[in-house]
Structure 1
Amino acid sequence: MAGGNWSTTEGQVLPGLYMNFEAAAASAIQPGSRGTVVIPVKANWGPVREFVEIGSEAAIREVFTSGDMGGATAFTSLYLALLGGPKKLLAYRLADSTAAPASLTLQDGKAEVLKLEAKYPGSRANQFKVTVQPSLGDSSVKELKLYENTTLLYTFGIGTGQVDAVVDALNQHPSNKWVTAVKLAESQSPLANVTDTAFTGGVSGISGVKNSDYIEAQNALETREFDVLSLDGVTDTALLQSFAAWLKRVRKEGKKAIAVFGGAAADDKAADAASKAAARSALFNHEGIVNVGTGVVFGGTEYSSAQTAAYVAGLIAGQKLNESTTYSAAPFEDVTRRWTRSEQEVAVKNGVFLLVHDGRQVKALRGVNSLIVPGTGQNSAWKKIRTIRVLDAINADLQRSAEETYIGKVNNTAEGRLALIGACKEYLRQLASSGVIESTGFNVELDPDYYGPSAAHKPEPDQVYLHWDAKLSDVMEQLFGTFYVQ
């Protein structure tokens, strides 16, 4: 999908819809709903370097295990993201070169004839145990029971126990999510009986994961459709800068994603936490990057702002076009440090997304991104997460519609351009009816800089230039009143 920004000095090569969003005097195009979150994670089980959709806490336990032992981050990051309520959550497991699956070799009484290997690398499978024994109902056939510690995962009927029958029984069973059977040698004898024989050799590949592994994941992320990105609690400045630079590039090229980052637990609770968080925002200073400044307490456990970023990513992705994160209630018991009024003001002015405890509950303070100094063509509206979500949603919707209905399909004639303009106006009408933009004053027309007797430029035969106008709508965030006492 080609798209992104355009300029008169840079010719575009690929067909596509190229959109610039700029602030007009007191108006701008507004908000959008973006539903998919993606998080690179480390885990003791599960597919490596693959995108896996996670829809529930149970799914996290099934795909990646229920705990974050040995440096794993999958459960915490994904669970916090789910608390935010995204429409879709994708996990991408990272592992170093030492990652290996656990395995177990079984004999027929004379030689090793079958190897059972865990389906995924990781230490979880070191807890797997196998029992091979005659069936209680029929001693002429055998069963292979697979346990995780003392929990029975599944009982496989393996017939008389010959190696070929076992391979078929395990590898072709639709409920087998744990092991793969590999024949090592021909044998006409049944498998020898064993009891609680353990798998060994499983390595999770977590300790050696480096910044380069995260940076390599950027290539995979670039080929995947998602709307909000977070990391699994990492706080290394160089890595965050790398992701910030990557995000700025792909956004310019048309991949309108938002990233959510945070800081270390020690910074969250430091006396100068406000200035540390503000410095992090200054490092990013971009409308597509959200910087979380506070950690949270949930279930008696403290989570850093870098970990809490996963929750904020889920919160952003789960909202509708006409909603805002400002004052959104959070499920946490407390924050790891309660900021003073003056510190909160510093945060909002310096692009820090805060979660605060108002004496009754934890909630988001104001839905701001890390943009501190608006760039060319931007104004203060670009500092709002809601604004960027809408611009991104409009860009994505129009890009998809243009590719499916107009690009390469409609003649670039007066009639064709009128049809395109009519479809664009109808789209804006739908946004207006949802309260995303103001219901009056929006318009789409041919750009007068390119059409008409006074046009400064002449479009090529396959080019169409449109001029859009829409007035920003927003939620009420500041209410002012004067109470007159008689």
Structure 2
Amino acid sequence: MTIQRERPGATVDLIAKAQERVLPKSGVVLVPYQAEWGAPNTMVKMTGYDERIAETFGEVDTIELAAEGGATIIGYRMTNGAAARASYTQPDAIKIEALYPGLRGNDMKVSIGASTAEPGKKELQVKGPIKTEKFSFAGTDELVTKTAQSSYVRVTKLGTTAVADQDETQLQGGASGNATLTAADSTALFTAVSGADFDSMYLPFDDPAIQAAAKQFMGDRRTKNKKLSTLVIGGNSNDDGNMEKHVERSVAQNARYVVNCAIAGQHNNGKTYGSLQWAAWVAGMIAATPAHESLTAVVVPLKKALKDWGYTEILNALSTGTLIATRDGDVYIIESAVNTLSVLGSNDREDYGKIRVSMTLDQIVNDLMSVGKKYKGKLSNNDLGGAVFVGAGQAYMQIREQQGAIDTGWTFTDLKNGVGDRRGFLLSAKPLDAIEYFDIDWEVL
């Protein structure tokens, strides 16, 4: 009886999954970053502008670049463990501490005086970079409770002494947790995010050895954790004008789940970024763009490229799977939405070298796996249980076909090989690429 109540949900969930995939908000991009504010060494999901402002004050360029396409951000602030929170203390009364460690906490200002909203009470004012917060309180316990909702501080009760008035004063003692990123930092990062679900990941390292380790990490996630996603890398800013260096990175990766960004130059916001920072924008666009659409010819918010590539350099980039932006009239566009796969392996095909095709493959597997995990242990291992999941999968695939993500003629079948707690299913489908070359034969009459 319990199994029967769960069965309709499998189909509904998969239909919902399919419908989500045409919405930019369904895409998730992981953005590791360094900053002076934000939850340290913790994954934080940010689904919109307000949440990004609350978490980073909008001061982390790579997060803002990744969010431009509308993707959901999972931010991971990397610190060296030495970060400290700024604070202000009244002995035996209260301690007011910045919500997060880092130098930005030293900019917070606090004052305590008569309440402007509730006569007879005191009021704590906290001035931060976005707004001023006010908390009226009759006693320490009320202050502690109310400030639990603060975007800037947390208050701790130290003793029984009453809270005294205080003129405006800055919090002190905040220490930065930033340092030059090392291989050890990358190892800690991979361990921390290995179980997360995301469509693409921005890598803030330009070291070729770390990029190789990141490729291995992403490959292991695919085979061992069954979590399929795309890695986006960039290069050292000193090499951004050299196409040979960009090509070297692509050749070293040669994987359909790795995209190499060679975009560099001034953003429309007036700031100049290297390919390592622009890789965050690419990662966000990959996550945000529905799988039935291609990134080819998408306008890049690039005001002036570091270098306008020549014809030979463009061909070298395309042949090695290097993602570049080229000038097209008054704007820059992505020349071709390619990943780094250029030399085919035993299980590769030529169309796997396109981001759209690769993302479609990953999305379908991830969606089927996520719903399968939700319902594992709830369907009996017999033909009836298998048929329920097949029905759910077929409903999902029908919508993906209607979206134009896959071609007609797909099949999803039960292999009817259930033994113990294992059962096999076979999915056959052809992801659709986009037309990029228009060959026109003109017969002049």
1:258 counterpart (223, 230, 246)? 230
Deviation at 1:126, TM superposition (A): 0.6
Cα contact 1:406–1:420 (8 A) shared by 2 = no
Counterpart in the other structure of 1:245: 216
Counterpart in the other structure of 2:157: 183
Q: What's the secondary structure of 2:302's corresponding residue?
A: coil
Q: What's the secondary structure of 2:434's corresponding residue?
A: coil
User: Residue 156 of structure 2 aligns to which amino acid in structure 1?
Assistant: V
Residue by residue over 1:157-180, the C-alpha shift from the partner in whole angstroms, topping out at 9 and shown as x without a partner, is: 233xxxxx1343144345422222
Q: How many residues align?
A: 420
1:223 counterpart (186, 195, 200)? 195
* Distance change >3 Å, CA 117–CA 473, structure 1 → 2: closer
Deviation at 1:470, TM superposition (A): 2.8
Residue by residue over 1:227-276, the C-alpha shift from the partner in whole angstroms, topping out at 9 and shown as x without a partner, is: 111034x312222222111111111221101111111222112xxx2211
Q: Please say which of residues 352-361 and 469-478 is displaced more in the overlay.
A: 469-478
Map 1:84-95 onto structure 2 (within 5 A).
Answer: 84-86=69-71, 88-95=72-79
1:113 aligns with 2:82: no
Deviation at 1:123, TM superposition (A): 0.8
In structure 2, distance between residues paired with 1:230 and 1:137: 46
Cα contact 2:232–2:259 (8 A) shared by 1 = yes
In structure 1, distance between residues paired with 2:135 and 2:294: 52
Counterpart in the other structure of 1:204: 176
Counterpart in the other structure of 2:133: 154
1:80 aligns with 2:80: no
* Distance change >3 Å, CA 417–CA 326, structure 1 → 2: same
Counterpart in the other structure of 1:385: 355
1:55 aligns with 2:53: no
User: Residue 218 of structure 1 aligns to which amino acid in structure 2?
Assistant: F
1:476 counterpart (431, 435, 438)? 435
Cα contact 2:266–2:306 (8 A) shared by 1 = yes
Map 1:255-334 onto structure 2 (within 5 A).
Answer: 255-269=227-241, 273-298=242-267, 299-334=269-304
In structure 1, distance between residues paired with 2:99 and 2:357: 44
Map 1:118-133 onto structure 2 (within 5 A).
Answer: 118-133=98-113
Residue by residue over 1:264-293, the C-alpha shift from the partner in whole angstroms, topping out at 9 and shown as x without a partner, is: 222112xxx221111001111111111001
In structure 2, distance between residues paired with 1:355 and 1:364: 4
In structure 1, distance between residues paired with 2:424 and 2:48: 45
In structure 2, distance between residues paired with 1:347 and 1:116: 54
Counterpart in the other structure of 1:98: 82
Deviation at 1:38, TM superposition (A): 0.9
Counterpart in the other structure of 1:443: 411
In structure 2, distance between residues paired with 1:130 and 1:255: 45
In structure 1, distance between residues paired with 2:250 and 2:280: 17
Q: What's the secondary structure of 1:357's corresponding residue?
A: strand
Cα contact 2:148–2:154 (8 A) shared by 1 = no
Residue by residue over 1:91-124, the C-alpha shift from the partner in whole angstroms, topping out at 9 and shown as x without a partner, is: 01111121000011225xxxx5332111211111
In structure 2, distance between residues paired with 1:316 and 1:443: 27
User: Residue 411 of structure 2 aligns to which amino acid in structure 1?
Assistant: N
User: Residue 482 of structure 1 aligns to which amino acid in structure 2?
Assistant: D
Residue by residue over 1:202-242, the C-alpha shift from the partner in whole angstroms, topping out at 9 and shown as x without a partner, is: 0120126533223212122112111111034x312222222
Residue by residue over 1:362-415, the C-alpha shift from the partner in whole angstroms, topping out at 9 and shown as x without a partner, is: 2111111111212112111111111111111121222234344576513334x5
1:166 counterpart (111, 120, 140)? 140
Counterpart in the other structure of 2:370: 400
User: Residue 203 of structure 1 aligns to which amino acid in structure 2?
Assistant: A
* Distance change >3 Å, CA 143–CA 385, structure 1 → 2: same
User: Residue 274 of structure 1 aligns to which amino acid in structure 2?
Assistant: M
User: Residue 219 of structure 2 aligns to which amino acid in structure 1?
Assistant: K
Map 1:62-77 onto structure 2 (within 5 A).
Answer: 62-67=54-59, 75-77=60-62
Q: What's the secondary structure of 1:333's corresponding residue?
A: strand
* Distance change >3 Å, CA 362–CA 462, structure 1 → 2: same
* Structural RMSD (CA): 2.7
Counterpart in the other structure of 1:8: none
Q: What's the secondary structure of 2:240's corresponding residue?
A: helix
* Distance change >3 Å, CA 361–CA 218, structure 1 → 2: same
Q: What's the secondary structure of 1:205's corresponding residue?
A: coil
* Distance change >3 Å, CA 123–CA 404, structure 1 → 2: closer
User: Residue 206 of structure 2 aligns to which amino acid in structure 1?
Assistant: T
In structure 2, distance between residues paired with 1:136 and 1:310: 45
* Distance change >3 Å, CA 467–CA 193, structure 1 → 2: closer
* Distance change >3 Å, CA 391–CA 115, structure 1 → 2: same
Return the TM-score normalized by structure 1.
0.79
Bigger radius of gyration: 1
Return the TM-score normalized by structure 2.
0.86
Q: What's the secondary structure of 2:323's corresponding residue?
A: coil
In structure 2, distance between residues paired with 1:256 and 1:479: 32
In structure 2, distance between residues paired with 1:404 and 1:58: 31
In structure 2, distance between residues paired with 1:405 and 1:137: 52
1:43 counterpart (32, 35, 38)? 35
Deviation at 1:321, TM superposition (A): 2.2
Cα contact 1:353–1:366 (8 A) shared by 2 = yes
In structure 2, distance between residues paired with 1:152 and 1:403: 43
Deviation at 1:320, TM superposition (A): 1.5
* Distance change >3 Å, CA 443–CA 194, structure 1 → 2: closer
Q: Please say which of residues 304-313 and 291-300 is displaced more in the overlay.
A: 291-300
In structure 2, distance between residues paired with 1:355 and 1:83: 17
